[in-house]
Structure 1
């Protein structure tokens, strides 16, 4: 039973998460476009009118205006609501899904990064190096300080994660087709460096499964062409990474049990 103090804690974390998610939206939309994340102030993408402060309230601003600009009445992309809700739920649930308290020091910035990269890939079909290279350095330094597993496990995870998608990219290139982008490869390598070899294997499996199922459903629905279909893979890596982070150990035990 959740008491009042615990509920207050969850609500505060959710609200803080929506603020972080809103900032991640700005990062994911502006950085790939080569724009500043500070100036100018947020404005309607259709009419260019600067948003009123009430419209900038995470989640509520979008809902109260029914997903439309209050000036020109044009639809406002649901990606803004997605980023804010994702931040809220992740920040509120992380303390209850991460068993090792020290791992929260990595989990929170990892969640924020994945929201920003998902928004960037959905909006621009790009995982920008301006985010990936600093993230690789940042999490490498954090893993030097916080390492429940031996160092070699994180190094092996880096190689396994990035190497697997690099091999897929080469396979498609040999067939004259576009495969994994460089951003996808770096992101999966980062997942391996953060989580280690065992959990990045789960991330690989889950992201591949989610991507395959989603792609198949979109093709059946006529939303994607079977030939030359393009589907941003970054969001599936992000989802696979979070699943591995939260449920990786029981999933790995279940998977290995299939072969015994």
Structure 2
């Protein structure tokens, strides 16, 4: 019975994640273009025919259609099922680690925002303010909920909320300072969107884990950048989107921040 329940729960969580991933695809396509996220309904970008409900089933719809529009036979990007599958797997991983909890729901929301921002940054080299600002507000709401859940007192709520506010302010100031340093050196070091994303991260993580996530992002970004230069994929000084690295640093911190930080502090204390 336990195995059946776990299996059914896993299928439900994956289906939920894949459905959110389907909407993320809509956000990534429409938000940078200034289009409504709700209207018109999903349609083929080539022939503009509205898609049937059964064609819109996450992952399976793409497979049924063999990657082509039912009407004009134009190819449908492979990224749609990949994003849906990836979101489903992320939801499952978070569910397996944190079980049925407020943390699970919160991390599902945060990772959905991070995935949308990552894909938009890769496509357009921008991090839209509507996403970073709404993500920041949701982070502060999450802190309030966690404060009430953990301590059920006004002092607990205030403590968690202040942790989120301090993290958000630190993220904004820190990355703005890096951007100003780049201006002083006459070289763009960080975009305004990165600072807003860092503020959003701080609202969710608090200042300690924000610093950890930022360090991981910088380390991975530097490694990828150097590797790309060595492999002649990019020239020195060529811009690369930093949002995906911030998102990755946040995701790693969500899953393993406590043991990573404990291991680091153990080297000195």
Same fold (TM over 0.5): yes
1:249 to 250, 258, 265: 258
Change (3 A) 1:108 1:6: same
Match of 2:14 in 1: 14
In the aligned structure 1, how far is the partner of 2:256 from the partner of 2:115? 19
Matched residue, 2:109: 109
Larger radius of gyration: 2
Contact 1:154 1:197 (8 Å CA) reproduced: yes
Alignment partner of 1:156 is 2:157: no
Paired residue for 1:180? 190
For structure 2, which runs of at least 5 residues remain unmatched after alignment? Answer: 151-155
Alignment partner of 1:189 out of 199, 202, 207: 199
Aligned to 1:36: 36
TM value normalised by structure 1: 0.87
- 1:237 pairs, out of 242, 246, 250, with 246
* Counterpart for residue 82 of structure 2: 82
SS of the residue aligned with 2:241? coil
What is the TM-score normalised by the length of structure 2? 0.84
Deviation at 1:60, TM superposition (A): 2.6
Partner of residue 57, structure 1: 57
Q: 1:220 to 1:54 in 2, by over 3 A?
A: farther
1:207 to 208, 217, 231: 217
Q: Which has the higher contact order (CA 8 A, sep 6+)?
A: 1
For structure 1, which runs of at least 5 residues remain unmatched after alignment? none
Aligned to 1:218: 228
2-structure distance, mates of 1:74, 1:222: 34
C-alpha separation in 2, matches of 1:68 and 1:209: 40
Cα shift readout 1:135-191 (whole Å, capped 9, x = no counterpart):
322332332232257334333322332222222111111122222222211111111
Structure-to-structure mapping, 1:85-164, within 5 angstroms: 85-98=85-98, 101-147=101-147, 150-151=159-160, 152-164=162-174
State the Cα distance separating 1:239 from its structure 2 match.
Answer: 1.3
Task: Give the conservation status (yes or no) of the 8 Å contact 2:136–2:201.
Answer: no
The 8 Å contact of residues 122 and 232 in structure 1, kept in 2 or not, is answered as: yes
Over the aligned positions, Cα root-mean-square deviation in angstroms equals 2.5
Deviates more, 1:16-25 or 1:231-240: 231-240
The answer (yes or no) to whether the contact 1:98–1:246 under 8 Å persists in 2 is no
